[in-house]
Chain A
């Protein structure tokens, strides 16, 4: 079977090969015209840069073509179905982008006098109100920059609360299916991490958890719905058991999309949960961020929330508390500051725009449709694939590689074959608790036609794998700008930047 189409240029129709910007350099070219600078006396104290930096010069048409061509080598939600489990790749409404670019929201500075940014502070206050109302939690720290940063916020608040109680606890417990960020976060806050096993039905083993709980445990970090796409049915009992030994419940909100409007996490006994605005509330992932990870906190943890935060004053004006000292004067005990300035404000605007568009009725419908779509995938694919656990599932459906047994096709091969069929692959090999995981999260913004097309492709590929055509899978993808890349070589001899050829 031919592996790729050969052309004289290496180009293939709309797929055009594109050199690095450094390889397109012509000295003196620029895409920006600047006024001449009159002679002046500089204040550089003798530190003027000597010698060229080596940045390439390109004109505007070249730059526009370069990035347009690069963009065409990417798959996005705008391109097609992106069922990446645990990532909630839902449609990113363009209204959000338009709102975030209003000059009164984009072209304002974090250190303007407060009197000149009352609208911005009110927007933060409104976003906080939505998040607190939906979760039932009394407080929210808006400043964390992404999910893992929100975890850090929650776990630091837990550590601060324990210290305020005069207690030293050393352990954080995580289920073995946890995202890697959970143990990495706990370690950053000085805790040792221990794993709690799962039951045969993919949930936290209550008996094992209860047996491990004790006065050395600071917190239990649990993703719910969990990374197998299942709701932890015993969450209330879990919270009670955790609280009974004086520990706190951190709920990883990566999968919050499934339960928005369906349950208030406060009613589950949760002490802290981050919310990925770039998942649940539709802000774009941008090829790897920026995200935003506001963290809701229970009454027990609220006093330790980091600065800055917005308060509404008696006169109706909004005030930003930026200094720990000011917070302490009003009875708070912030554990500190987590990032520069005031949080991911541009992401706040987009998330609020989405929440207002959906409203409480739309958010309720959205979690319903997300769960319906996932269960539809599970139902239609169960006979041909091997589901890891019984449904109903929440927002995502987990399969393992038993259906590929003895076919010579791996989960990786299967995922790469999906690419040639025009779909972004599902999440592969995560969670680690099942062998060769294929984790599919459709989200609520996919139509039934789109799901059906995906299902037909998956069923067809499963049939082809079982028919013994492993070779075709191992060659996939064939139709992409690049075929499988040598990741081992990349790691063995890292080339992390362009360097000029030695003359």
Chain B
């Protein structure tokens, strides 16, 4: 390569010649032979196939990969991957011929609950019903509908029309209480619970009962009305709110409110004290 120094090198030609000559001093022959020999040796090393040069690294990578694969497949087959189970199961089934569980969602979707062996719960209608895949009958009507839904619309319609899975007592008068069966369909596992109509009282039941004629109904406790006219609990609060405000200045009013919180509506008690 020829140097064109240009204006930057003007006046320094002698220096530049000395610098250039400095860069052209030959390498000592002994060093040159040593370096060229090292290059040739490196070239021979480089002629080895790639897999032999990187055999150890490739072995480690392959072992790690195989270990990961086996571990993941094993955990997936055992269904021990928790929320990741459906994702990993999909991958494993795509990569291998193995069938692995897809997790709790699959269980819930595919399995129809049947009465376990030795079940002594409410007797259910099974006459004319189709058993589940395991030969047992669905544990309630909701589960029976679920079982038949997979077979098509006609089977589902027939299942809806049937009493299969309903309790023997209520199965016959289905037409009189449709709400009971609807509720049972939604919560199939609660089939053994008592029916709502005769069940335990709910939160609303703690309120003062409705009645049409308070005078005609005797009070159950002294100082407490037997019932409120019109049945609206809010109207009762409105009636006593002004009275309660007058008594709430003293300590007794507060105390009364606390006691009422345990036994009944506070507004009613406050009204009584006033």
State whether these chains interact.
no
Residues of A whose CB lies within 8 Å of any CB of B are none
